[in-house]
Each structure stands twice: as structure tokens, then as C-alpha cells.
């Protein structure tokens, strides 16, 4: 399946817009401006040929490529409701999954955690003693850093993913379900409920072809 990716959203657009009026635009981005929106779609798909859709009633939670459960938080609920409203505004009819919908809409919260080892190096050489030695009753001895020279870090990042799955043509493809559209939002405060509707809207705004 041939796909084309589009990378737009707050980060790139605002960098271009603000570049002429801010000395260091990257250092002054708001949380809204820092979020990135990416959408991919099957260029051979005829989006107007689909009539109905069904949307899952909960969200998949995926951690390091493993499905760990399904949830419906306030953020998830807002995302699901907003997707349904947008698709109906674009001419699609919402039906239950038992009614043989043309499209299935699945939403996921995707988390990836990376870990590694780093050397303290000069960090400890210039460490002035964070803890107050007098508090612990050793004012005359000062503070000496630990003898080990390496540490371990762990970083987790995540994003919201929306997939439009082609059920209409699954039988023609050997009962194989394929995605004709995927949207991903990631960045600062992605999973805050107050940002959910705007994130979904941003993904569909850059996907004007997604309509009946």
C-alpha cells in the first residue's frame, strides 16, 4: 500500500510564522505550538466510496509495541466523541460495529520508553554538596559524592494515534484489514483532556480528502 506522509501542525507552522518576529522562536514555543501532527493515507483509497463508520468505545494502551489494556479516560472520551462528530460532519454515518460498517476507527495511546547509561564525569567534580551537612550533624566533614561514575536514565514519550481501517474491502483482500488513514499527535501535554478536541481537529484539518 503506497502511503504519503504529511508533517505539519503547530511546531512547523509557528516556527515559520514567528521566525521573523522572535529572535529565538524555538525557545519561546508554547505547549500548543510544540505539538506535532502527522497523517498518512493510502493514495489509492477513494474516501468518498465509504459511507458508514463505527468507532471503538475505548482506547488501546500500547507500551513499547505491546498492547497492555484498554481504557476510557476523560481524555479518551473527548477524543472518541470529537472523531465521531467530525466524521459525521464530513458525510459519514455512524453505526454500531454489528451493522457491518465500511470503516472502523481505532484510537490508541502509544508510549515508548528508552533507557541508557551515562557517565557522571565532571558533574560530580563541580557538585557543591546539595544536602546540608549541618542538618545531619556532620558540619565539620562536608559532603563527598558517591564513588560510582555512571548512572541509568529512563525516558518515556507518547502520542495519540487514530487509525481508519477498511472493513468494506477486507473480503476482497483475503479477509485482511488494512489502514487507509493514520493520524498521530505528539508533543507537550498531548494527553491533557483540555487539548484532546483540538488535537483531533488538527489531524483532520490536514486531511481534507477524508470525506464522503
Which of the pair, 172 or 90, is modelled with greater confidence? 90
94 and 80 Cβ atoms separated by less than 8 Å: no
**CA distance linking residue 200 with residue 150, whole number of Å:** 42
Residue 185, SS3 per DSSP: strand
Helix axes 193-205, 74-89, angle to 10 degrees: 30
pLDDT-derived band at 19 (thresholds 50, 70, 90) equals: very low
Residue 169, SS3 per DSSP: coil
Q: What is the pLDDT of residue 173?
A: 85
pLDDT-derived band at 167 (thresholds 50, 70, 90) equals: very high
Q: What is the pLDDT of residue 5?
A: 39
Tell me the pLDDT tens digit for each residue of 196-205: 999 999 999 9
Return left, alpha or beta for 166; rule: phi > 0 is left, psi -120 to 50 is alpha, else beta. Answer: beta
Kindly tell me if the per-residue pLDDT of 195 is higher than 50: yes
Tell me the pLDDT tens digit for each residue of 33-82: 678 999 999 999 999 999 999 999 999 999 988 999 999 999 999 999 99
Q: What is the pLDDT of residue 7?
A: 37
Q: Which domains does the chain have, with CATH numbers?
A: 3-205 (3.30.160.670)
Kindly tell me if the per-residue pLDDT of 25 is higher than 80: no
Tell me the pLDDT tens digit for each residue of 135-163: 666 655 555 555 555 667 677 789 999 99
Q: What is the pLDDT of residue 93?
A: 98
Amino acid at each position: 500500500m503506497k502511503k504519503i506522509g504529511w508533517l505539519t501542525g503547530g511546531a512547523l507552522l509557528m516556527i515559520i510564522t514567528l521566525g521573523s518576529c522572535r529572535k529565538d522562536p524555538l525557545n519561546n514555543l508554547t505547549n500548543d505550538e510544540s505539538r506535532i501532527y502527522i497523517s498518512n493515507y493510502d493514495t489509492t483509497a477513494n474516501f468518498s466510496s465509504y459511507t458508514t463508520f463505527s468507532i471503538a468505545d475505548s482506547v488501546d494502551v500500547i507500551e513499547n509495541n505491546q498492547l497492555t489494556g484498554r481504557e476510557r479516560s476523560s481524555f479518551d472520551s473527548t477524543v472518541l466523541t470529537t472523531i465521531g462528530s467530525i466524521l459525521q460532519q464530513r458525510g459519514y454515518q455512524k453505526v454500531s460495529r454489528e451493522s457491518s460498517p465500511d470503516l472502523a476507527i481505532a484510537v490508541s495511546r502509544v508510549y515508548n520508553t528508552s533507557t541508557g547509561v551515562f557517565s557522571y564525569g565532571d558533574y560530580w567534580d563541580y557538585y557543591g554538596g546539595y544536602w546540608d551537612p549541618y542538618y545531619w550533624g556532620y558540619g565539620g566533614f562536608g559532603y563527598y559524592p558517591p564513588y560510582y561514575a555512571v548512572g541509568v536514565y529512563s525516558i518515556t514519550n507518547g502520542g495519540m494515534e487514530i487509525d481508519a481501517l477498511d472493513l468494506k474491502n477486507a473480503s476482497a483482500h483475503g479477509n485482511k484489514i488494512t489502514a487507509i488513514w493514520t493520524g498521530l499527535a505528539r508533543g507537550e501535554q498531548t494527553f491533557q483532556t483540555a487539548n484532546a478536541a483540538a488535537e483531533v481537529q488538527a489531524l483532520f484539518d490536514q486531511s481534507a480528502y477524508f470525506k464522503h
